[in-house]
Structure 1
């Protein structure tokens, strides 16, 4: 499964805002850190505002901040909100039935079950657990180590 860049930027924005709870953050701050388009990020932040996850402060010294506590933000809900669909194969799209095997094929049911399992894991994770230094109940607690995030490489670099 692959998440869209919109979801990637949504999660990165929330993590950054969670890391900077004591100050207002600008879209440009987030765009510069990750080397991503400010225009695309503006759409992401707008959706976060509409969803009630982010609060915007207008004006010369304005910016963004989380509208909820990180512990109250469910990553599974964020992913569902930011993904337009979970069509991981052509057979999930009712407008495209190009597969000759779709009548008796069990693959769609298995892929659907896998998608549900993927989202179920994310439903157990809050933004608070995604912040650097946080201990994840799902992963790090089992390993006994904190999760450490490193900035992702800028687009076009490896």
Structure 2
């Protein structure tokens, strides 16, 4: 199983915002992770639509968490961003063309596995993903040639 890129970027964005504790520009987040600004803009918009972040435009704008990090449930974020109903073809009755649908156990087994996966993530708040805010922030801090280690 692999989370889609939007879910990955959403979790990373939320983690960086939780660590920073204030407002950050999308460019700063994209640069820190070395990821596409264009893709991150889409993710930021989605996070704002879902109420996880507040997005302010213009000079002095940026992203900030819409609520405290300890109140953001990781399982909820994944459910909101990820498309799990199409995990395999037989999960979608409307487009399922599998000839053994309804007589095989794969759908049931995978459905339980996805449920277990989400139940595990439900045990985590955003703060749980950042055991050391200081180390996390240091890893994402920009380094200039004069400050980088030899």
TM-score, length-scaled by structure 1: 0.79
What is the match of residue 39 of structure 1?
38
Higher RCO (CA 8 Å, separation ≥ 6 residues): 2
Q: Please list the CA deviations of residues 52-84 of structure 1 after superposition, one character each: whole Å capped at 9, or x if unmatched.
A: 111123331221111110110000000010013
* Cα displacement (A) at 1:87: 2.4
Question: In the TM superposition, what are the counterparts of 1:76-91 in structure 2 within 5 Å?
Answer: 76-91=75-90
- What is the CA–CA distance in structure 2 between the aligned matches of 1:103 and 1:62, rounded to whole Å? 52
Is the Cα contact below 8 Å between 2:85 and 2:92 reproduced in 1? Answer: no
Aligned partner of residue 24 in structure 1, secondary structure? coil
- What is the CA–CA distance in structure 1 between the aligned matches of 2:72 and 2:64, rounded to whole Å? 13
- What is the CA–CA distance in structure 2 between the aligned matches of 1:61 and 1:127, rounded to whole Å? 25
- What is the CA–CA distance in structure 1 between the aligned matches of 2:83 and 2:31, rounded to whole Å? 26
What are structure 1's unaligned runs of at least 5 residues? 135-147, 152-158
Query: Quick check: 1:26 aligned with 2:25?
Result: yes
- What is the CA–CA distance in structure 2 between the aligned matches of 1:58 and 1:103, rounded to whole Å? 50
Is the Cα contact below 8 Å between 2:18 and 2:65 reproduced in 1? Answer: yes
Aligned partner of residue 64 in structure 2, secondary structure? strand
- What is the CA–CA distance in structure 2 between the aligned matches of 1:102 and 1:84, rounded to whole Å? 21
What is the match of residue 51 of structure 1?
50
What are structure 2's unaligned runs of at least 5 residues? 141-150
- What is the CA–CA distance in structure 1 between the aligned matches of 2:96 and 2:54, rounded to whole Å? 42
What is the match of residue 5 of structure 1?
5
Question: In the TM superposition, what are the counterparts of 1:75-154 in structure 2 within 5 Å?
Answer: 75-133=74-132
The total of aligned residue pairs comes to: 138
Q: Please list the CA deviations of residues 23-74 of structure 1 after superposition, one character each: whole Å capped at 9, or x if unmatched.
A: 3211001111222111111111111111111112333122111111011000
Q: Identify the structure with the greater helix proportion.
A: 2
| Structural RMSD (CA) | 2.2
